[in-house]
Amino acid sequence: MRPICTTGSGMRRPTGCTGAAIRKCCRRSPAAPRRRGANTPRWCTPTIAWFGLRGVPMFDPAGKVYRMVGVSQDVTARKRREDAVRFLAYHDSLTGLPNRRLLDDRLKQAVHLAQRRDRKVAAMLIDLDNFKQVNDSFGHRAGDAVLKEVAQRLAACVRRADTLARHGGDEFVVVISEVNAEADCQIVADKILHALAAEFHVDGRALALGASIGVSLYPTDAGDGDALLRNADAAMYRAKQLGRNQYRFYGR
């Protein structure tokens, strides 16, 4: 097929590309199919633009494509909406952290990998202490601000290879993959308790919280992800019974 020689302003304006850049991008695209189709290239622009392309190839007597006749439509707004919907399906809308759905998937993957490598996995369930008083005394807007700050502090306590998720309400879960020893969990738990012990400031008010943490280990305490979370939850409640603002391993 002959290369594109010219491009109209209808393509240059929304993409922010020069004609030469668009022609270069199109030359990298695969050959056109023999039927009507759709293609959505991602243009290399300062602001990414997506286009839906529909066209019909024209063939010469030898059966070779020599021209494409079709139309294009800027679908950037639609693509962004689809991406937002897809993100919210797996992430918490307030904190941006993985939600329960994504947490379950990550936990299953971590356990499966640990089975293959004969390693350990830890689930840590973190429940904020005295959070109900924040909502009752200062309202849900203040509570939401605290939860977002909690998410940021927790993220600074875990490795990028691990998973931090919002389990719901004022509960968060950390999945630590490839645990070598219990000391690894203790280090993370101590970091979390220290991070959450610092005051939270909302609308000029200083709020003191804290957290109770339950820790469960695979395969010592549970044989699958669901049981791992249940046992971490039980250990968390044990930490609350013993005075809060501490962590407990399951069964101890």
Q: Which 3-state string (H, E, C) describes 40-59?
A: CCECCCCCCCEEEEEEEEEE
Instruction: Provide the token pair at 106.
Output: 């990550």
SS (H, E, C) 228-242: HHHHHHHHHHHHHHC
Residue 211: phi and psi, rounded to 5, are -155, 150
| Catalytic member of 127, 129, 162, 170 | 170
Measured from the Cβ of residue 207, the count of other Cβ atoms closer than 10 Å reads: 20
Amino acid at 63: G
Catalytic residue status for 127: no
Query: What is the C-alpha to C-alpha distance for residues 9 and 25, in angstroms, rounded to an integer?
Result: 16
- Cα separation values, 119 from 31, 50, 129, 220, Å: 47, 43, 32, 11
Q: Is 63 left (phi over 0), alpha (psi -120 to 50) or beta?
A: left
Query: Could you give the residue numbers annotated as active site?
Result: 170
